[in-house]
Structure 1
Amino acid sequence: MRLEDGSATLRNAIPAEYGEFVAVVTELGGTTVLTLLLAVLFWCSDRRRSALVISYAVAGLGLLLSIKTLMALPRPPEDAMLVALEGERDGYGFPSGHAFAATVVYGGLVAAYDRLGDWRAVAGASTLVAAVSLSRVVLGVHYLGDVIVGVALGIAFVIAMNRLTGGDPTNGFTIAVCLSIPAVFIVGGTEDALLGLGGSVGGLVASRRLAALPELRSRLEGGVLVGVGGSFVAVVRELESVVAPVDPLLVVL
């Protein structure tokens, strides 16, 4: 089911000296890059559409954590890793979180911005998803079957969210809350599950005030927003390690 033999063939086709490059590619589906991308789009682009995709990402986090825990399938053995990567041995391996997240965010952006009829946008998103997915296999942290299921699940999730939300971010964050609450109980209150719950509740509250936010008046104002917002995100990331032992504070953060 997880295509172990095909995964080994793909890993062996990539020389170890390309490991650092592959590690950079895999970050295109990681939390930091995707969060920064969505934040910048929200500050500088169409806030309603960007918020909609953010709700997809947060809702998808709760769903994926629950599925991974319920399936409880391990990652490939440690000797399969192309390079040593901090934290990549943690958690379960099926389905691939990076493949799922990349599909939800990049595919969600194409759908939310009405670019499904633009072959360049679809091709670009597909290339990013394929690159992230294959990088996970090459790095030896997932099997080929893990990423295929992750992408398929991500596509199905975006289609479902498009229909259920009706283009309203408030509906998206409502779904996210409904998915994140059981995730906390299923997963056992891990940092990711608690942050997902906090993000869902915070997004639901904030989405109700989108109409009150003023439009950008200049590119300079957008640049200031990115600078201030990026600094705030960096501070929050540092505070995570401080409040992580206290579950309620992590949700509030």
Structure 2
Amino acid sequence: MMRLADESAVIRDAIPAEYADVVVMLTELGGVSVLMGLLALLFWWGDRRRSALVISYAIAGLAFLLALKSLLELPRPPEDAMLVALPGEREGYGFPSGHAFAATVVYGGLLSVSDRAREPWAVVGVGALIVAISLSRVVLGVHYLGDVIVGAILGVVFIAAMNRLTRGVPAAGFTVALVLAVPAVYVTGASEDTLLAVGGAVGGLLTAGRIDQLPDLRSRLEGVVLAVVGGGVVAGLQVVESLVGTTPVLVALYAVLVAWIVVAPIIVSRLGTDLVGATPLGS
């Protein structure tokens, strides 16, 4: 299989180590934490149905790609190819690139379900972001050029398949995610990320019916409160995750995390209503 090792070396050699911080910042834009945080904010502040749909794409894509990588078992580039030492980046398999795939599915998915899908500048902008994230993986030396090219192509195909399967219905997306996640747990040996996919799919399915009934934001302040409260709970759940080691608890925790993203607007809205009701007149 052509992974374009020689071409990858040319790209790595073109970027000096002094720019490592910039490259790492770029690569983080394709990481699970940043992508899920972005999707949560877009869900809270924007079109919730479309955002939920792309959340389901992201969870389904995670399961699909982890299973594929485990089946292929192709290694990452040698350690001496790394631009800088990055904890955790040596783990897992190298083909295809998860960051290139995830960036394509999330950023490309958001574009595909938006009203700007046919605007040339929007397509160019999203494409440039995906290319930058993908090439950052090559520059860091954790993937070959062929890994990121295939990852991005698979991402485009995956978006097209999910658009066709879901027909814009988030519950359908979470159903597909669960169908993909369950066998992925077996294929990967119950890796933590595939447990995330199972739990996330379950949490999405349990709450997808509430999406169209969620209250609208009443003010910018409520939007800020929602981001702070919602993000705080998500951060807390991630701390709990680091302390948990049993499979059933992890699945439940990830289900709660995705469910919380959906129900957080209800809780914050009710909290705001209670506070307003408790405020004395004339205060």
TM bucket (normalised to shorter chain) is over 0.9
**Match of 1:195, SS?**
helix
Q: For residues 75 and 26 of structure 2, what CA distance do their matches in structure 1 show?
A: 23
Alignment of 1:77-226 (within 5 A): 77-226=78-227
1:123 offset after TM fit, Å? 1.3
1:31 offset after TM fit, Å? 1.1
- What CA deviation, in whole Å up to 9, does each residue of 1:70-114 have, x standing for no partner? 000000000000011110000000000000000000000001113
User: 2:75 is matched by which residue type in structure 1?
Assistant: P
**Match of 1:208, SS?**
helix
Percent of aligned pairs sharing the same letter: 63
- What CA deviation, in whole Å up to 9, does each residue of 1:159-196 have, x standing for no partner? 11011100000100000000000000000111111111
Determine if contact 1:81/1:140 at 8 Å carries over to the other structure: yes
- 1:246 is matched with 246
Determine if contact 1:174/1:200 at 8 Å carries over to the other structure: yes
Q: For residues 73 and 216 of structure 1, what CA distance do their matches in structure 2 show?
A: 47
**Match of 1:145, SS?**
helix
1:115 offset after TM fit, Å? 1.5
1:141 offset after TM fit, Å? 0.1
1:120 offset after TM fit, Å? 2.0
1:65 offset after TM fit, Å? 0.5
- 1:28 is matched with 29
What TM-score results when the alignment is normalised by the length of structure 1?
0.98
Q: For residues 217 and 123 of structure 1, what CA distance do their matches in structure 2 show?
A: 34
Q: For residues 206 and 179 of structure 1, what CA distance do their matches in structure 2 show?
A: 19
User: 1:107 is matched by which residue type in structure 2?
Assistant: G
Larger radius of gyration: 2
Q: For residues 180 and 13 of structure 1, what CA distance do their matches in structure 2 show?
A: 39
Structure 1 residue ranges without an equivalent (≥5): none
- What CA deviation, in whole Å up to 9, does each residue of 1:28-58 have, x standing for no partner? 1011211111000000101000000000000
Determine if contact 1:52/1:167 at 8 Å carries over to the other structure: yes
1:116 offset after TM fit, Å? 1.4
Aligned residues: 252
**Match of 1:92, SS?**
coil
Q: Which segment drifts farther, 214-223 or 138-147?
A: 214-223
Q: For residues 40 and 103 of structure 1, what CA distance do their matches in structure 2 show?
A: 18
User: 2:251 is matched by which residue type in structure 1?
Assistant: V
User: 2:178 is matched by which residue type in structure 1?
Assistant: V
- What CA deviation, in whole Å up to 9, does each residue of 1:203-224 have, x standing for no partner? 1111111122111111111111
Q: For residues 193 and 34 of structure 1, what CA distance do their matches in structure 2 show?
A: 16
Q: For residues 99 and 126 of structure 1, what CA distance do their matches in structure 2 show?
A: 11
Structure 2 residue ranges without an equivalent (≥5): 254-283
Q: For residues 120 and 43 of structure 1, what CA distance do their matches in structure 2 show?
A: 26
Q: For residues 93 and 18 of structure 1, what CA distance do their matches in structure 2 show?
A: 23
Determine if contact 1:20/1:83 at 8 Å carries over to the other structure: no
- 2:259 is matched with none
Determine if contact 1:89/1:141 at 8 Å carries over to the other structure: yes
What TM-score results when the alignment is normalised by the length of structure 2?
0.88
Q: For residues 35 and 130 of structure 1, what CA distance do their matches in structure 2 show?
A: 20
Q: For residues 220 and 49 of structure 2, what CA distance do their matches in structure 1 show?
A: 19
**Match of 1:29, SS?**
coil
User: 1:74 is matched by which residue type in structure 2?
Assistant: P
Determine if contact 1:81/1:141 at 8 Å carries over to the other structure: yes
Q: Which segment drifts farther, 220-229 or 140-149?
A: 220-229
- 1:19 is matched with 20
Poorly superposed stretches of 4+, deviation over 6 Å: none
Q: For residues 123 and 228 of structure 1, what CA distance do their matches in structure 2 show?
A: 34
